[in-house]
Structure 1
């Protein structure tokens, strides 16, 4: 759909009313579903496998369908009438699963697809290739090539709570053992976003009117983000700023921590080597180390700007989310 609301057929509603989510029981999916429901503007449907035991947020409609097989008739039927499909799956989920969902969305006439992109700058293809995100580049291309749906991409970088609390191969912190690996000097700042901020961004985006009313309407609309990224962030931080927050939250000093230094570039190479040997623990090491290269690839805010204000996103309290991350790290809730 293109053009202006005034030119659409009679009965056209200039807003998104029906949203389907695959992965609504997962970490990111749960936040997305809850914030979309909270707007009161959407009927939100969880597309879930028949055998899934994930607990789903209240207020969702639920359709159980096996979307992993070759027969997509049931999936297409489940998606018919939906305006948006949000795919949120583990980063290493099989690429063909995402492809099946994308193709089914096209057959069902879904206008917008968010194809599992919650991460670094989608416009930086070298970064995505280095971090083994080529299958997500392919998903974006497939959406466009099918010529039915438009893709939406959320550039939010790493999830802050998950990454800070997730062990030394993410942001370098080990809260159980009070240790910290400095990547080079700990001075490279990257964007990072909390789960709630990501969810608020998507809910706000899908609550915009779909099209400008007419050629004089310059107010935000969903259509302006068609086939292009939405850039948001909670914080622009280096490891040193993270550590200061951690010390405030835990009431510790430098003396309470065991600290070592490693080259981000060498860590990246070590992660690559581990994965070549079949050790998947090399993946987070590769992924995170690459974002901390001193070339600034982890800081898209300085290059692209942010859509935080356009979407009405709040300023967040760093220490509040650091405390959540510390708790998750101490209980090993987000180690895997």
Structure 2
């Protein structure tokens, strides 16, 4: 049970992953939480210093229930290709263990956008997880929408279209569609800020968890276009537009191509389908415009696009 009006004990699944590690580190930095990493019995993944380790058998309901005992909140971060039944097992066990709050495996563009969730099955499955929590009625959820992860997507030519080795970029349509996205650090800051709020209001009625109960929360680092990203890349690398090969592809055609490849068993079509759909010129990727964000409420900093781009380029060079 929650002690007083604050969450103290936080369990996190995926604490060693890209987003999970950042979330864990920022939670630990607050000094307000005891963070337990929920890991498989045979896991050897390195974990952030200061985190407690709780090993469980994901295929044993009672093992999961035991692992969640005494936790105030469960934060779930899973790879996008993990089967939905894994998260369902975690949700049910959290409910049976009396965990009052669950942050499901959201961390994505706007899953509450019906058109987007209809066209991208992985977004639909995320929405279904939140609905499952609400239907069970044993825990409450807060689904955090972060958009695409900037570092991971800029480094992947199939995502934002940038190939740094070839100095080429492929724009969806005219490259001017605005899409909301976040850095790993901003995701970590957002979760730490959210879980540091009081459960019930202490003055400001919006700055509490009750305000977000069974709702989507939208946070971001930037709402930018591919042309904005290219401008940042040019500044960081000291190159000019003529140094880059710029091509254009119809977002609708690329979505269909990716979908057809997936239906044929070629999973390389998945990123083509997903990223092109979010870059449709229908504002479905621009939740800052459609929904607004909670950046100010959570007191998240305004980040430097060029600093984020520089970080990505350094990482790319480091792995060569």
Q: 2:50 aligns with which of 59, 74, 78?
A: 59
2:28 and 2:35 in contact (8 A); partners too: yes
Q: Secondary structure at the match of 2:121?
A: coil
Relative distance call for 1:173 and 1:217 in structure 2 (3 A) is closer
Q: Which residue of 2 aligns with 1:322?
A: 309
In 2: Cα distance, 1:217 partner to 1:30 partner: 31
- The alpha carbon displacement at 1:327 in A equals 2.8
Aligned to 2:61: 72
Cα pair 2:205 2:211 within 8 Å, conserved? no
Conserved 8 A contact 2:108-2:145: yes
Q: How does 1:69-108 map to 2 (within 5 A)?
A: 69=59, 71-108=60-97
Pick from 85, 90, 101 the counterpart of residue 112 of structure 1: 101
What is the CA–CA distance in structure 2 between the aligned matches of 1:109 and 1:125, rounded to whole Å?
31
Output the aligned Cα RMSD. 1.5
Equivalents in 2 of 1:162, 1:188: separation in Å?
19
Shift of residue 111, structure 1, vs aligned partner: 0.7
Distance 1:332 1:125, change over 3 A: farther
* Superposition TM-score, scaled by structure 1 size: 0.92
Distance 1:261 1:210 in 2: 48
CA separation in 2, counterparts of 1:298 and 1:240? Answer: 15
Q: Residue 332 and residue 191 in structure 1: after superposition, are their counterparts in 2 closer, same or farther (change >3 A)?
A: farther
Structure 1 78/295 Cα, relative in aligned 2: closer, same or farther at 3 Å?
Answer: same
Structure 2 contact 161–169 (Cα < 8 Å) conserved: yes
2:177 & 2:36 partners in 1: Cα distance? Answer: 40
Output one character per residue of 1:69-91: Cα deviation in whole Å (capped at 9) or x when no partner: 1x211110110110110110111
Aligned positions, number: 319
- Name the SS for the 1:119 alignment partner: coil
Stretch moving more, 321-330 or 173-182: 321-330
